[in-house]
A = this chain, B = another copy of it.
Amino acid sequence: MARLSRGRKKVEIVKMKNESNMQVTFSKHRAGLFKKASELCTLCGAEIAIVVFSPGKANKVYSFGHPSVELLVDRFLGRDLPLRNDDDRHNHLIRAQRNSGQRGLNKEVMDMQESF
């Protein structure tokens, strides 16, 4: 059959209304995000952890992590951070709480790194 697609259209970055379309977009963008992350890992030897909660009723969880989500997250939440250069503008209060010892579970988190 004749292809009728006129190619990609511009999409405004606002919450989508169409549910089924949104599901497709969510899948595609999630895959793209994880791919970008893995490229950044490979190209620059960075260590990345990503956790994604899908919206709506089917609140599924997807994750990407190199070397592992848990390891990186523990290091993030732990205390021996070499330096915090935080682009996250939303959780200053929570971070302050955490840093003051709220967690009380983190002990020594091995720091292993290098290439990949």
> Does the CB pair A29–B33 fall under 8 Å?
no
Chain A residues within CB distance 8 Å of chain B: 11, 13-16, 22, 25-26, 29-34, 36-37, 39-40, 42-56, 58-73, 75-77, 81-88, 90-91, 94-95, 98, 113, 115-116
A105 to B88, CA, bound (A): 24
> Does the CB pair B34–A36 fall under 8 Å?
no
> Does the CB pair B67–A91 fall under 8 Å?
yes
> Does the CB pair A47–B42 fall under 8 Å?
no
Q: Which residues of B contact A67 (CB under 8 A)?
A: 90-91
Q: How many copies does the complex hold?
A: 2
- Partner of A52 from the list B14, B48, B52 (CB cut-off 8 Å) is B48
Q: Which B residue's beta carbon lies closest to that of A63?
A: B88
Q: Which B residue's beta carbon lies closest to that of A66?
A: B90
> Does the CB pair B53–A46 fall under 8 Å?
yes
Q: Which residues of B contact A50 (CB under 8 A)?
A: 37, 48-51
A11 to B116, CA, bound (A): 17
Q: Which B residue's beta carbon lies closest to that of A91?
A: B68
